[in-house]
Structure 1
């Protein structure tokens, strides 16, 4: 923050005290509309208020929550702290004048504010002093609420994959919540009292343990025709891949032992799936992906020279043509991303269906019947027997 800005702040806001030499953290009072308001401010990029952390009494917070659009605009435009405070003074004065901001003193306005300021200022100082301060950033609440902050942790692994996590503090007394794009099987245990560096080290430890897993998933994504998930995330442990026209394979990879033979489920008509199922049974004992690509191992397991890669043609992707659209709704994907997973076993039909579409179709006929967790009836196309899982 330059000297001119510093002088302006000290002159116009003498009770707002800078807490460091860089004029990036302030604790004190601002006067607006004849009222004193205790505030705490932290600026990641002084003198700009972009990314600012701002704490204030509850009555002021409630009022500012109704002015979020103005505040967001000020913050995103990157105005200086001095200009922000001047605008804030005017906003508060208008709010008081029109009865939108009650004059409030005592415990209601200061409820937990001092405690929160102490708690969050401690976290901010920990980040500033951490050996990982370049990888840890402080940002406002994702919901845009005042009086809340969260930490964003960033880690680039040895393969240039970038991983992020957020640490949210619901209160000063409860355990923080850490969220990251990691498989659900991975547990990161955090507790109140942990430092910013400890949060980061916990995250890095989890990321480092998953390097082999992500290498395997990256190989599958690069060398196979993946149709589900449509846009894989680092947390996803499954893939559905095409192995032949209207035949696909559902794989589930163990994130802690990714070279182990994956769980495999075939999706397709019985006639088209049978050769692959037989090959799988014959080659189970020969599985070995250590030292070689898991894609190559899968191909050997299925009796193939190689697994097909995604085909594109002029004008777009051929996924719908090769995979087969649902013969009821005539779509490839439902709104929830579901792909056709049920296929008629009649070799002269072999049409695919979404499980949801087929269930609704069969449910509409009195001749359909349930046996355990499946509903049985007639194929919408050839009228021969077909079934699907019961949909909740």
Structure 2
């Protein structure tokens, strides 16, 4: 007050000082019950289950494993005011289901909402494990595709991605979109490539559709429908040069997030190009 030149400057200084004090109390001076509840939760969970724990114990990353031993990270935060304030749970990477086919996934989501106000870490983990069980077969299917085909899109798929575009050779590829609720049923499919090459494939898919066997993985079924005796091309069976999947202008596969989607119309060439690269050359 002695240093202030006016009452207005004094009040401004006072407000700033009080805001700083309140902020420090909010961030650091949490009640003993806050720390007690967190340590009790972590004791129940087992401290060894925490893959990462923040220095102030307010954020924990827990490693969960599905039935096929794939690792999933569950991140939970203890907000100020816990346990009166609910836990903050970052959602797991799970696929989105089509509209009109969400009854089962909605049931899982509804159970998650019921637990939203549950302050128990154990209950949150149990709900996350239900989600892992629910989508386990979907991830089995996607893992099989990833390990036994040459996936050209997406480049780094997440656990939520339902689509894979797989190389077939001769500048052809097939885009497969798997239904998370029925992962072994016939997926949505789209063929890409020169018309002369993909038309016979499209005919095979149509004529052999009755041979689809839901007891087999979709990748195996597609090899039957497309009549691929040696299976899909994969990094194990062919080299990148043999696939010839890079753009003939920029000599890269992915440019500005896009993959080559234009082919030379000459039957002896059929070099792939990015649409944007062709546009730049034409200018």
- TM-score, normalised to structure 2's length? 0.73
Map 1:44-123; keep pairs closer than 5 Å.
107-111=22-26, 113-115=28-30, 118-123=33-38
Residue 283 (str. 1) matches residue 208 (str. 2): yes
Aligned-pair CA distance for 1:263: 1.1
Aligned-pair CA distance for 1:108: 4.7
Map 1:377-388; keep pairs closer than 5 Å.
none
Aligned-pair CA distance for 1:319: 1.7
The SS at the match of 2:250 is coil
Map 1:200-219; keep pairs closer than 5 Å.
200-219=125-144
Which gives a bigger RCO, structure 1 or 2 (Cα 8 Å, sep 6+)? 2
Residue 177 (str. 1) matches residue 100 (str. 2): no
Q: Which has the higher helix share?
A: 2
Map 1:230-379; keep pairs closer than 5 Å.
230-288=155-213, 290-311=214-235, 318-334=239-255, 336=257, 338-358=258-278, 364=283
Higher alpha-carbon Rg: 1
CA distance in 2, matches of 1:160, 1:210: 13
The SS at the match of 1:180 is coil
Aligned-pair CA distance for 1:206: 0.6
| Deviations 1:50-108, CA, capped at 9 Å, x for gaps | xxxxxxxxxxxxxxxxxxxxxxxxxxxxxxxxxxxxxxxxxxxxxxxxxxxx9x99545
CA distance in 1, matches of 2:244, 2:180: 28
- TM-score, normalised to structure 1's length? 0.55
Map 1:133-144; keep pairs closer than 5 Å.
134-136=48-50, 139-140=53-54
Q: Tell me, which stretches of 5 or more residues in structure 2 are unaligned?
A: 1-16, 98-104
Aligned-pair CA distance for 1:178: 1.4
Residue 156 (str. 1) matches residue 80 (str. 2): no
Is this contact kept in 1: 2:76–2:87, CA < 8 A?
no
Q: Which has the higher strand share?
A: 1
- What is the aligned partner in structure 2 of residue 226 from structure 1? 151
The SS at the match of 1:305 is coil
Aligned-pair CA distance for 1:242: 1.5
| Deviations 1:330-389, CA, capped at 9 Å, x for gaps | 2122364x3222324443442212244345556x4xxxxxxxxxxxxxxxxxxxxxxxxx
Is this contact kept in 1: 2:139–2:159, CA < 8 A?
yes
Aligned-pair CA distance for 1:114: 4.0
CA distance in 2, matches of 1:198, 1:182: 19
CA distance in 1, matches of 2:270, 2:207: 26
Is this contact kept in 2: 1:340–1:354, CA < 8 A?
yes
Aligned-pair CA distance for 1:261: 0.8
Is this contact kept in 1: 2:245–2:253, CA < 8 A?
yes
**Structure 1 residues 106 and 168 mapped into 2: Cα distance closer, same or farther (>3 Å)?**
closer
Is this contact kept in 2: 1:328–1:353, CA < 8 A?
yes
Q: CA RMSD in A?
A: 3.3
Residue 125 (str. 1) matches residue 40 (str. 2): yes
- What is the aligned partner in structure 2 of residue 10 from structure 1? none
| Deviations 1:33-55, CA, capped at 9 Å, x for gaps | xxxxxxxxxxxxxxxxxxxxxxx
- What is the aligned partner in structure 2 of residue 61 from structure 1? none
Aligned-pair CA distance for 1:310: 2.0
